[in-house]
Structure 1
Amino acid sequence: MDVLVVGAGLAGLRTALLLARRELNVMVVDRRRSLSAGIRTTGIFVRRTLDDFDLPEHLLGPGIRDVLLYPPSRRAPIRLTSDRDEYRVADMAAVYEHARHEAESAGARVLLGVRYVGASNGFVRFAGAEPVTARFVIGADGPRSRVARDLGLDVNRRFLVGAEIVHAIESGASVPAFHCVLDPRVAPGYLGWVIDDGRHAHVGVAGYPNAMRTGLRHLLDAFAADAPGRVTPAGPVERRGGPIPVGGVLRRLASPAGLLVGDAAGAVSPLTAGGLDPCLRMSELAAAVTAGYLRTGDQRLLSRYDGNTLRAKFRGRLWLRRVFAGIRSPAAAEAAVTVLRGRAGRALAARVLFGDGSFPEVDPRLADLATGHRRR
């Protein structure tokens, strides 16, 4: 085969779709037997993603325009309101199934319940299944990528760990809003959050593992008991969680044997921990680079998928991540929120929460090379 993609998350399936559309022989494997199992993302899509990608409308919840930022005291939150829908929360299990169907319709094979064991010199091994040969291997296997290690690429080393509760709510029981609580007792180095779109509520916490002395589940349950905007569940409660890489895009992302996408590539905002937008954009670039390289054999094309260049986009957020990590007491958090109440602070918060920034688009010349066309 031409390309093996390890991991059937959004990044892996998107990359597989784009490669299959370029008439490459693509196979995707994932150790999960169901794409609805082991979901880790909250499923928040930001406005820029909604504007630039054709996401299935029926799988997205109502738009959210209001964000409320709370200090540890939970008193007098800062309200930021956009004149546009800034966030929509997706049914991620259904989004994954939709992405799988699209990839398979384009010609990719998607095999679930197949666990990747290792790859060497184009020879790929699986647990309990016959090995295969692949010209190129793409690691979309999460923040602790086994593919990255096998290919000799960089690996994520800085993580938050997050957990959340998801449940349906009664229609009309609340006003759609995104509630964020800055409190190191609940989420050391990050936020506690409630995102409520009027259909479902996601209540979560995340933070540095070594600072969560009472345990992640204890912190989540304690936060959920008195979280702002909390509404009574109207149906089953689902729990999610897992590691979140926040060190920025990795520097060495590609080799002649393969490359990384999604969380495996560190494609998560260091500050907000949002990964769906960068995962889709990096998948576009990864597919163009992969197809061009396999078409021409020119290893220089792999340098277009350069982590240092992509990492520069996150320079400001990497700096803010260090500042955020330094907020270690409730008093410091109260002071930080006080700073954000001023004009400059509100402008900074609005820029982070409602910003238009994103990864660079794929160079049209590279996309042409990947498909064998030339611009005149």
Structure 2
Amino acid sequence: MCGRPVGRAGGPTVEGVLTVDVLVVGAGLAGLETARLLAARDLRVLVVDRRRTLTTGIRTTGIFVRRTLEDFDLPGHLLGPGVRDVVLYPPSRRSPIRLTSDRDEYRVADMAGVYEHARRAAESAGATVLLGTRYDGRSRGLVRLAGAEPVTARFIVGADGARSRVARDLGLDVNRRLLVGAELVHPIASGTTTPAFHCVLDPRVAPGYLGWVIDDGEHAHVGVAGYAHAMRTGVRHLLDEFAADAPGRAAPTGPVERRGGPIPVGGVLRRLACPDGLLVGDAAGAVSPLTAGGLDPCLRMSELAATVAARYLRTGDERVLRGYDGNALRARFRARLALRRAFAGIRSPLAAEAAVAALRGRAGRAMAARVLFGDGSFPDVVPQFAHG
């Protein structure tokens, strides 16, 4: 198979085949962060992604929560203004509930810029990133890459999304509970909106989840997500219907970008690692089951994944992989998974109206604020090694 050489990630060759310590499949935030941390530990790291540019195929709104902003060094110039207000609407859109924090709770990122920033950071640490290069499976340690020469890798990190092929190839768990989301992103005139996160609970347009409007100061994000089997007219039709009169939206000043994709909400998968590799990001189910937020968990689990993988590659001790145990993480998600099931059960507009009405009282507002403004959207992940 002919293709490009993979460049400076390369190590010694065996019969002309390049060998790396770690192959990371997927150049999203989880993959690039894991690659950076592994390369910083002097491992030979190659990242491949089938996209030819990181500015295409973006699937996330790019909402970073306060806890992420406090704990990680994110490029401030790529983040929009702070958002302190969340407005919750019932299907009727009447009498919405406004919750206001005394701190900035959300900022929306320019995700194309964030991905490029993460790519440069990974490359500065010593990783090689190849775009336009599709992972095409593995056999007997040889990894086939469409668009590049095959390589051998001691370890593979699957950062290839909610429907991960790497997970299947490694015999690890796969996501089975998914929402499907779609979003319109359009430019807005500066100063025409007040930062707020508008959320609409309406099973007619977002069965099992919600519709949203939020802006980053330059672009408005209008989206819906829900369970595909309940979206009788399709997510694109529902998005267009919602966007026509979505609350808080600003008039667009230019072309519209469409985004979309699956969102795993079944919690962290149980079997995340084996001697041949591990999973991160959406591939690992590292998304809050309740809020469907995935940027905070992808960064937290990437740190743990890199720590575990580096130690395993250094020692060869398979017991180290127990430190990346999905069962241990799932135990901390019981309440969120229960609330996710309750949310999924809201199937009629009347039920959604009642659910929002229940949040109007003091106890309901406190519960909503805890979910929307709390520190527990995704638990801290600390390596639990079997020995020192």
TM-score by length of 2: 0.93
Quick check: 2:58–2:112 contact (8 Å CA) kept in 1?
yes
**1:17 aligned partner:** 36
1:155 corresponds to 2:143: no
CA–CA distance in structure 2, aligned partners of residues 308 and 75 of structure 1: 42
Residues 1-376 of structure 1 mapped to structure 2, 5 A cutoff:
1-357=20-376, 358-363=378-383
Q: For 1:297 and 1:132, how far apart are their aligned partners in 2?
A: 21
How well do the aligned residues superpose, as a CA RMSD in angstroms? Answer: 1.2
Instruction: Report if the CA contact (8 A) 1:151-1:258 is conserved.
Output: yes
SS of residue matched to 2:351: helix
What secondary structure is seen at the aligned counterpart in 2 of 1:234? coil
Q: Is the 8 A contact 1:142 1:262 kept in 2?
A: yes
Cα distance between partner residues in 2 of 1:203 and 1:59: 19
Equivalenced residues, count: 367
Check conservation: 1:262, 1:275, Cα contact below 8 A: yes
Q: Secondary structure at the match of 1:110?
A: strand
1:244, distance to aligned residue in structure 2 (A): 0.6
Q: Retained in 2: the 8 A contact 1:122–1:136? A: no
CA distance in structure 2 between the partners assigned to 1:361 and 1:127 by the alignment:
35
Asked whether the equivalents of residues 175 and 197 of structure 1 are also in contact (C-alpha less than 8 Å), the reply is: no
Amino acid at match of 1:181: V
CA contact 1:20–1:107 (8 Å) conserved in 2: yes
Tell me by how many angstroms 1:198 deviates.
Answer: 3.3
Q: CA deviation at 1:347?
A: 1.0
Q: CA deviation at 1:121?
A: 3.4
**SS of equivalent to 1:2:** strand
TM superposition shift of 1:361: 4.2
Q: Structure 1: which amino acid aligns with 2:295?
A: L
Percent identity over paired residues: 81
Unmatched 5+ residue regions in structure 1? none
Structure 2, unmatched stretches of 5+, are: 1-19
Deviant stretches of 4+, over 3 Å: none
* CA offset digits 1:332-364 (Å, max 9, x no partner): 00000011111111111111100111332434x
Mapped partners of 2:381, 2:324: distance in 1: 12
Partner SS state of residue 80, structure 2? coil
Shift of 1:197: 3.8
Query: Aligned partners of 2:145, 2:134: CA distance in 1, in Å?
Result: 6
Question: What TM-score results when the alignment is normalised by the length of structure 1?
Answer: 0.96
Q: Distance in 1 between matches of 2:118 and 2:141?
A: 26
CA distance in 2, matches of 1:219, 1:30: 30
Structure 1 residue 122 displacement after superposition: 2.2
Any conservation in 1 of the 2:109–2:216 contact (CA below 8 Å)? no
CA contact (8 A) 2:132 2:147 kept: no
Instruction: For 2:379, give the aligned amino acid.
Output: F
